[in-house]
């Protein structure tokens, strides 16, 4: 069984998905774009199910400036390479940024910069798996699934850019 709920945040409404054990997704509404998570036929709206209440609380604390680290079980589901990149993303400290090249180096594959960028863009648990902390080699803000304004806001919230 999977569950979902929506929570309001300073960067817009967020969709949280999870099962009885772990958070499986955190998605931002992106106006003008179709797609988003596909909720299975067994998905039920239930803000009190599984880890969803803890996720909503920790996100509220993060947005209030009272939390820098999340302590939630995460179920990252992708290819082995994607999961490797996503785990590396969790190592980027609050208030810091890495370039795509640094991220590729971190996973031991310095030539995989483009593949790292693609995996970063498919991160299913944004904010908690902080893909917003990845920037261009020249320090520029590059693409972000939630939009560059949100990326800019998240980095400023963490004391950057």
Catalytic center residues: 131
- Reference 51, options 2, 122, 123; nearest CA is 2
- Residue 3 contacts residue 44 (beta carbons within 8 Å): yes
| Side-chain half-sphere CA neighbours of 10 within 13 A | 16
CA–CA dist 117, 140 (Å, integer):
14
């Amino acid at each position: 069984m999977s569950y979902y709920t929506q929570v309001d945040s300073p960067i817009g409404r967020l969709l949280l998905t999870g099962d009885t054990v772990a958070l499986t997704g955190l998605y931002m509404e992106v106006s003008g774009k179709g797609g988003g998570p596909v909720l299975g036929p067994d998905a039920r709206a239930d803000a009190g199910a599984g880890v969803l209440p803890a996720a909503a609380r920790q996100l509220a604390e993060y947005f209030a400036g009272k939390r820098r680290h999340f302590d939630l079980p995460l179920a990252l589901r992708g290819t082995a390479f994607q999961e490797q990149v996503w785990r590396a993303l969790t190592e980027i400290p609050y208030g810091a940024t890495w370039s795509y090249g640094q991220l590729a180096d971190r996973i031991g594959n310095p030539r995989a910069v483009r593949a790292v960028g693609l995996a970063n863009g498919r991160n299913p648990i944004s904010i908690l798996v902080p893909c917003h902390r990845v920037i261009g080699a020249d320090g520029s803000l590059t693409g972000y699934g939630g939009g560059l304004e949100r990326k800019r806001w998240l980095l400023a919230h963490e004391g950057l850019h």
